[in-house]
Structure 1
Amino acid sequence: MFQIDLVERCKANDRKAQLKLYRQYCEGMFCVAMRFLKDPDDAEDVLQESFIKAFQKIDQFKGEVTFGAWLKRIVINKSLDFIKAKKVRHVQLNENLLHIAEDEDWSVSDEISVAEVSEAMSGLPEKYRYVVQLYLVEGYDHGEISQILDLTETTCRTRLLRGKGQLKELLKAKRYGTGS
């Protein structure tokens, strides 16, 4: 069955179609939630809430992007909402006043594995980690990231640049200076 047919059946509240879409996307979306939450129980909760929201709002899905991309944005937003809800206190810096030069060089030493980069990313402060993760892992651009995180594009670019700098420092410390 074609995905668009499945989505249309879901719009008609067809439970079998909803179950089929759930089975098709649950594993991948669980991985997305885990990249943010790092806890399987929390990721499972967010995953369930995301699918409930997706099925409740499925009439808003217009097919401008794939269903998977639309659902992924819901999962990311729900993950970030979950993290925000767990925070007791949040201090925000006004980074809009800073001017940052773009630096598109994301190269690291060939000796550094993807697992090491991922581990180093988990050591970044949250405000940098989410921007770096959305940019590098999820493939969003500055405009999309700024919408998802409710930041200005300037703040997004600033946090990406700072996060990249901290990520490189973490990798250098781990490899004793073999990073670029």
Structure 2
Amino acid sequence: MTEDAIFQGCLQNNASAQKELYNRYSPKMLAVCYRYGHNREDAEDMLQEGFIKVFSQMHTFRNQGAFEGWIRRIIVHTCINHLKKNKKFNDSVDITYASGIEIREENIPSVIQAKQVVECIRLLPIGYRTVLNLYAVEGYTHKEIADMLDIEESTSRSQYTRARQMLEDVLVKKSIIQKPKQKTRLLALFAK
């Protein structure tokens, strides 16, 4: 079934088209939800809620940009709303870095397993993780993030900076990377 046929079928509330849409995009969107959720159960709740919104807002898609990108934006906003509704984002964040992180002088390996990095990002406090995902992965500006999360723009910037540092510390502690003398290539990826 083509993407256009799926779209047209979903507009008409056709169950097989909705199932096809869900089957086609749910694995990628679950990965998005997993980055924001506290655990797999949270991520699955966000995914279900997000697809309900996708189906109910299908008539608002105007063929401007990618259909998958439109779905992704709805899913990301659903994740943020879920965190805000459950007050998970507003939990206080204590910045305590693990002591005893061994500093090494070698560079990070040229290839880091994406799954390992995602798992390390999930270890960050929810506020840091959310800002890091929105800024570095989704491409939102600090102003947009501040508006979405009802925080100050400066708070978004500082949480992002702290998230990058904490992520590096976690990656070093788990021996995924080694702490170099200069800025790591990993952090360079997140340093927009």
Q: In 1, distance between residues paired with 2:110 and 2:175?
A: 9
CA RMSD of aligned residues (A): 3.2
Match of 1:75 in 2: 75
Q: In 2, distance between residues paired with 1:90 and 1:157?
A: 16
Match of 1:42 in 2: 42
| TM-score with structure 1 setting the length | 0.72
Q: In 1, distance between residues paired with 2:15 and 2:177?
A: 55
Match of 1:171 in 2: 171
Match of 1:97 in 2: none
1:126 aligns with 2:126: yes
1:1-40, CA deviations, whole angstroms, 9 ceiling, x for partnerless residues? 4323421332233332222211211222122212221433
Q: In 1, distance between residues paired with 2:88 and 2:36?
A: 18
Q: In 2, distance between residues paired with 1:176 and 1:4?
A: 42
Judged with a 3 Å threshold, the aligned counterparts in structure 2 of structure 1 residues 39 and 120 are, in CA distance, closer, same or farther, namely: closer
Q: In 2, distance between residues paired with 1:92 and 1:63?
A: 41
Judged with a 3 Å threshold, the aligned counterparts in structure 2 of structure 1 residues 44 and 68 are, in CA distance, closer, same or farther, namely: same
Name the amino acid aligned to 1:109. I
SS in 1 for 2:62: coil
Match of 1:103 in 2: none
1:160 aligns with 2:160: yes
Q: In 2, distance between residues paired with 1:176 and 1:146?
A: 31
Offset of residue 92 of structure 1 = 7.5
Judged with a 3 Å threshold, the aligned counterparts in structure 2 of structure 1 residues 171 and 43 are, in CA distance, closer, same or farther, namely: closer
Percent of paired sites with the same residue: 30
Q: In 2, distance between residues paired with 1:33 and 1:27?
A: 10
Match of 2:97 in 1: none
SS in 1 for 2:124: coil
Name the amino acid aligned to 1:16. S
Judged with a 3 Å threshold, the aligned counterparts in structure 2 of structure 1 residues 63 and 164 are, in CA distance, closer, same or farther, namely: same
* More displaced stretch, 117-126 vs 61-70: 117-126
Match of 1:140 in 2: 139
Offset of residue 111 of structure 1 = 7.2
Match of 2:66 in 1: 66
Match of 1:20 in 2: 20
- Structure-to-structure mapping, 1:89-128, within 5 angstroms: 90=90, 109-110=108-109, 113-114=112-113, 115-128=115-128
The alignment covers a number of residue pairs equal to 165
Judged with a 3 Å threshold, the aligned counterparts in structure 2 of structure 1 residues 165 and 91 are, in CA distance, closer, same or farther, namely: same
Q: In 2, distance between residues paired with 1:160 and 1:89?
A: 14
Structure 1 residue runs without a partner (length 5+): 94-107
Structure 2 residue runs without a partner (length 5+): 94-106, 181-192
Match of 1:10 in 2: 10
| TM-score with structure 2 setting the length | 0.68
